[in-house]
Amino acid sequence: MSALFDLAGRVVLVTGATGALAGSAADYLAAHGARVVYLGRSREKLDAALAKCRAKTPGAECLGLVADVLDRPALENARDETLRKWGRIDALLNGAGGNVPGATIPPDKTFADLDFDSFRQVVDLNLHGTVLPSLIFIPAMMEGGRGSIVNYSSVTAPLAVTRVVGYSAAKSAVDNFTRWLAVDMARRTGGKVRVNAIMPGFFLGEQNRRLLTNEDGTLTDRGKLIVQNTPFGRFGEADELHGAIHYLLADASKFVTGTVLAVDGGFCVFSGV
Ligand SMILES: NC(=O)c1ccc[n+]([C@@H]2O[C@H](COP(=O)([O-])OP(=O)(O)OC[C@H]3O[C@@H](n4cnc5c(N)ncnc54)[C@H](O)[C@@H]3O)[C@@H](O)[C@H]2O)c1
């Protein structure tokens, strides 16, 4: 592989690594020679994810550590365990996140019905759950002289997408945090530590399957609307995010920081007409 895209031996921590998108990315990175720390909340799910990773890539260098992204001592413990095992931290994929049903406005309700506690929860998970791991892992990257953070944004950040008011607000804040930290790190590390985000369009997963598809697999009205507004005419597949993540982690993007890279089948550039 060209040196530009070489990830061999890079130590990458992945939050939400037992989930659909970040789990797929973690397996991909391990298959491309990275040393991958799978972070998740459940030991059982982590063990299953590691078994899957090793089945796909015999000899994969992977480690599973329990850490809630809002639990500072658990993240500090993950940092210490990683440094004990591999001596450095090169990258962080902030994949934990998602919507909280109560922070969504159903069609028969209005904004006035919003459950504020759920709004707080969705901001906590997506924004604070991105800020806190960055805060805990960045000093090791600065010390090691190399770092790349990739956050997970959403097309609901730049656009008003109906219903998902809390999730949109949280992901917009992730975009701004990405730019803020990118500038700060660029100035403090001379570009050695970079911060970017990917902006997935709509990918089917356990979180949104019931919202977008019926029991028989056909599309719900909302699912149809999304597909109609996606020039590719379909949802994305988890592995279609791998290339963007690989690029942002590797030296190929050495002069790239503060970007939010859309991987959305054209959703964000389409007027709908
Ligand atoms: N699926 C999509 O269409 C889509 C689109 C845009 C952005 N995203 C974003 O991509 C990321 C991954 O989403 P996904 O679709 O794979 O969802 P997912 O539910 O499969 O994965 C999310 C993971 O985060 C974990 N998680 C939740 N709360 C946590 C916490 N407090 N601490 C640690 N882990 C926690 C969950 O257990 C799960 O494993 C999320 O940030 C999501 O918002 C998804």
pLDDT digits (tens, 9 = 90+) for 72-107: 999 999 999 999 999 999 999 999 999 998 999 999
Q: Identify whether residues 220 and 96 lie together within a single domain.
A: no
Q: Do the domain assignments include residue 272?
A: no
pLDDT at 130 over 80: yes
pLDDT at 214 over 80: yes
Q: Identify whether residues 93 and 149 lie together within a single domain.
A: yes
19 Cβ closer than 6 Å to some ligand 1 atom: yes
Confidence at residue 154, expressed as pLDDT on a 0 to 100 scale: 98
Residue nearest to atom 1 of ligand 1 (CA): 203
Catalytic pick from 28, 38, 152, 167?
167
Q: Do the domain assignments include residue 87?
A: yes
pLDDT, mean of residues 5-17 = 98
Strands 91-94 and 260-263, by their bridges, are: unpaired
pLDDT at 179 over 90: yes
Q: Say which CATH number the domain at 116 has.
A: 3.40.50.720
Strands annotated E in the chain: 11-15, 35-40, 62-66, 91-94, 147-152, 193-200, 260-263
Domain with 229 in it: 206-235
Rounded distance between C-alpha atoms, residue 226 and residue 159, angstroms: 13
Q: Do the domain assignments include residue 269?
A: no
pLDDT at 2 over 90: no
pLDDT, mean of residues 161-180 = 98
Q: Identify whether residues 147 and 224 lie together within a single domain.
A: no
49 Cβ closer than 6 Å to some ligand 1 atom: no
Residue nearest to atom 35 of ligand 1 (CA): 96
Active site residue 247: no
pLDDT at 134 over 80: yes
Q: Identify whether residues 75 and 164 lie together within a single domain.
A: yes
pLDDT at 262 over 80: yes
What is each CA distance from 81 to 11, 37, 110, 221, in whole angstroms? Answer: 12, 10, 47, 47
Distance 179 CA to ligand 1 centre (A): 21
Confidence at residue 171, expressed as pLDDT on a 0 to 100 scale: 98
Rounded distance between C-alpha atoms, residue 127 and residue 144, angstroms: 26
pLDDT at 211 over 90: no
pLDDT at 1 over 80: no
Confidence at residue 257, expressed as pLDDT on a 0 to 100 scale: 98
Give residue 255's Cα distance to chain centre.
21
List the structure tokens of 175.
């975009």
Q: Identify whether residues 152 and 218 lie together within a single domain.
A: no
64 Cβ closer than 6 Å to some ligand 1 atom: no
Q: Identify whether residues 214 and 113 lie together within a single domain.
A: no
Rounded distance between C-alpha atoms, residue 232 and residue 263, angstroms: 11
CA-based torsion, 171, 176, 178, 181: positive or negative:
negative
Q: Which of 200, 173, 196 is nearest to 262 (CA)?
A: 200
Rounded distance between C-alpha atoms, residue 172 and residue 26, angstroms: 24
Distance 96 CA to ligand 1 centre (A): 4
Confidence at residue 69, expressed as pLDDT on a 0 to 100 scale: 98
For 57-194, where are the alpha helices, taking DSSP H only? 72-86, 116-123, 129-144, 165-189
**Which of 171, 207, 240, 261 has the most ligand 1 atoms within 8 A of CB, as the residue to mutate?**
207
Confidence at residue 63, expressed as pLDDT on a 0 to 100 scale: 98
Please provide the average confidence, as pLDDT, over all residues in the chain.
97
Confidence at residue 206, expressed as pLDDT on a 0 to 100 scale: 83
Confidence category of residue 249, pLDDT binned at 50, 70, 90: very high
Q: What is the pLDDT of residues 18-74, one digit of tens each?
A: 999 999 999 999 999 999 999 999 999 999 999 999 999 999 999 999 999 999 999
Confidence at residue 205, expressed as pLDDT on a 0 to 100 scale: 86
Q: Identify whether residues 173 and 73 lie together within a single domain.
A: yes
Confidence at residue 185, expressed as pLDDT on a 0 to 100 scale: 98
The domain tally of the chain equals 2
pLDDT, mean of residues 226-254 = 98
Rounded distance between C-alpha atoms, residue 57 and residue 139, angstroms: 30
Q: Do the domain assignments include residue 271?
A: no
Confidence at residue 21, expressed as pLDDT on a 0 to 100 scale: 98
Q: Do the domain assignments include residue 163?
A: yes
Q: Identify whether residues 16 and 150 lie together within a single domain.
A: yes
Q: What is the pLDDT of residues 218-228, one digit of tens each?
A: 999 999 999 99
Confidence at residue 207, expressed as pLDDT on a 0 to 100 scale: 82
Distance 69 CA to ligand 1 centre (A): 11
